[in-house]
Amino acid sequence: MDLQPVIALDIGHSACKVIACANGRRERLLFPSVVTSAVEIAEDSAAADALRETIEVGGRRFFFGDTAVVQGVAEAESGMAENWISHPHHQVLLLGALRKVKQAFQDLDPSKAILVLGLPAQYYSAQRNTLLSSMRNLVPGAQVVVLPQPLAPYLAIQYAIDGREDRARPVAAESWAVLEVGHFTLDVCLIAESKWVERAKGSCAGAYRLVEALAAKLSQRIGSSVSMLEAQRALASGYVRVFGRKEDIAEDLAAARREYAEEVLEFAAMKLDRDARSLDGILVAGGGAQLIYDRVRDRWPNATLAAHGRFDVAEGYARSGLALARDNHVRLARKATAGASA
């Protein structure tokens, strides 16, 4: 069965995670959410490399991804603002993601695909139509779906990798909460027997708050300014470079994690304490899930860690997109059959 192609776009504030499914293939793509103004590069091979990550928006040329990190002067990730989806950098990252998909699938036309992306819980109602309109202008003809971001990890357990629901375990009959730890926001939601519960949705500061605290601690310790990008790399690696030496940051990192986990739990408890005991599970998801999971499980023993790490959100988008592609296929087949018998 040839399904409509699906492109899942998690345009995060620290990294863009993309899953593309077409013609029986499935590809996962990851690149930094960094955008800077493009500059001329004299060396031929570096210029050729940079061209692959150069996008023009509004008459201006931008580097994105690894090229922006290497060639630019960015001190922080792009889009640390509520109105990010209206910023040119957001369009650059969207177009850059679609370019990388076309490079991976030379025969995939995004205008004929299902594009699935999302918004943080607290911005979803206000910004959904804006994002839909923007995507339809960028990719005319595509079928665009915009979801609440914290719903995605739940969809990743509701649907199998091919978009079919697991008949052996009807997740839609269960009740789950989700804590999705992104870079800009940590999003909370509750799904009661497949129904979104509006009173339990919300967003608070994401893992950037921990990165800010870590940058401040490291700057004080080594007596030199540590940028957000450097602190984020230190968070992943466990060390910071000091004049050719790798300095272990375990103590500073542990302190920053404790502070952030307590802040998150205070917020999440306001949303979930009323329901937590009776839930089938509390799914801790997203690229920052490991930062808080132990503390969440201490409070709520039915907490479980989502399976896809930084791709938790993109995975849910992809699987729900494939479910929609299957529905579209069945609908078209029925229409064709009805037309043939008329």
Judge if 70 and 163 occupy the same domain.
Answer: yes
Cβ atoms 305, 289 nearer than 8 A: yes
Question: Which residue in 150, 192, 194 sits closest to 306, CA to CA?
Answer: 150
Cβ atoms 274, 168 nearer than 8 A: no
Structure tokens that stand for 42 in this block: 């004299």
Query: In the chain, how many domains are there?
Result: 2
Judge if 261 and 159 occupy the same domain.
Answer: no
Judge if 12 and 147 occupy the same domain.
Answer: yes
Q: What is the mean pLDDT of residues 88-93?
A: 94
Residue recorded with tokens 């918004």: 119
Work out the pLDDT band at 167, boundaries 50, 70, 90: confident
Q: Report if residue 183 sits inside a domain.
A: no
Structure tokens that stand for 298 in this block: 């201490």
Judge if 112 and 158 occupy the same domain.
Answer: yes
Per cent of the chain over pLDDT 90 is 78
pLDDT digits (tens, 9 = 90+) for 149-166: 999 999 999 999 999 997
Angle (nearest 5°) at CA 172 between 170 and 175: 110
The phi, psi pair for 193, rounded to 5°, reads 50, 55
Q: Report if residue 181 sits inside a domain.
A: no
CATH of the domain at 72: 3.30.420.40
pLDDT digits (tens, 9 = 90+) for 273-317: 999 999 999 999 999 999 999 999 999 999 999 999 999 999 999
Question: Which residue in 11, 47, 232 sits closest to 127, CA to CA?
Answer: 11
> Which of 29-38, 127-136, 196-205, 226-235 is predicted least confidently?
226-235
Domain that holds residue 231: 203-305
Average pLDDT in the chain: 92
Q: What is the mean pLDDT of residues 39-52?
A: 91
Distances from the Cα of 207 to the Cαs of 15, 233, 259, in angstroms?
13, 13, 11
pLDDT of 79 above 80: no
Cβ atoms 32, 68 nearer than 8 A: yes
Residue recorded with tokens 């989700």: 178
Judge if 327 and 242 occupy the same domain.
Answer: no
In this prediction, residue 329 carries a pLDDT of: 86
Question: Of 72-76, 133-137, 314-318, where does the model show the most confidence?
Answer: 314-318
pLDDT of 342 above 50: yes
C-alpha–C-alpha distance, residues 325 and 114, integer Å: 7
Judge if 45 and 135 occupy the same domain.
Answer: yes
Cβ atoms 282, 302 nearer than 8 A: yes
Judge if 110 and 235 occupy the same domain.
Answer: no
Cβ atoms 7, 110 nearer than 8 A: yes
Q: Report if residue 335 sits inside a domain.
A: yes
Q: What is the mean pLDDT of residues 67-92?
A: 78
C-alpha–C-alpha distance, residues 259 and 279, integer Å: 27
Judge if 14 and 107 occupy the same domain.
Answer: yes
Q: Is residue 328 within a helix (H) or strand (E), and if so which, with residue range?
A: helix 312-341
pLDDT of 335 above 80: no
Q: Report if residue 109 sits inside a domain.
A: yes
Cβ atoms 13, 206 nearer than 8 A: yes
Cβ atoms 21, 6 nearer than 8 A: yes
Q: Report if residue 262 sits inside a domain.
A: yes
The total number of residues shown for the chain amounts to 342
Structure tokens that stand for 265 in this block: 């739990």
Per cent of the chain over pLDDT 70 is 96
In this prediction, residue 76 carries a pLDDT of: 47
C-alpha–C-alpha distance, residues 228 and 234, integer Å: 10
Cβ atoms 319, 161 nearer than 8 A: yes
pLDDT digits (tens, 9 = 90+) for 172-194: 899 999 999 998 899 999 999 99
pTM of the model: 0.91
C-alpha–C-alpha distance, residues 299 and 224, integer Å: 38
Question: Which residue in 309, 308, 305 sits closest to 297, CA to CA?
Answer: 305
Structure tokens that stand for 246 in this block: 């790798």
Judge if 213 and 146 occupy the same domain.
Answer: no
Beta 143-148 vs 114-119: how paired, if at all?
parallel
Q: Report if residue 184 sits inside a domain.
A: no
Judge if 296 and 325 occupy the same domain.
Answer: no
pLDDT digits (tens, 9 = 90+) for 220-258: 988 899 988 889 889 889 999 999 999 999 999 999 999
Buried b (16+ CB within 10 A) or exposed e, 111-141: eebbbbbbbbbbbbeebbeebeebbeebbee
Taken in order 313, 314, 317, 319, the sign of the CA dihedral is negative
In this prediction, residue 332 carries a pLDDT of: 83
Q: What is the mean pLDDT of residues 25-34?
A: 95
pLDDT of 74 above 90: no
Cβ atoms within 10 Å of 317's Cβ, excluding its own: 32
Judge if 263 and 150 occupy the same domain.
Answer: no
Judge if 282 and 312 occupy the same domain.
Answer: no
Work out the pLDDT band at 77, boundaries 50, 70, 90: low
In this prediction, residue 1 carries a pLDDT of: 64
pLDDT of 78 above 60: no
Residue 123 is given by DSSP the state G
Q: Report if residue 185 sits inside a domain.
A: no
In this prediction, residue 236 carries a pLDDT of: 87
Q: Report if residue 329 sits inside a domain.
A: yes
Q: What is the mean pLDDT of residues 72-101?
A: 81
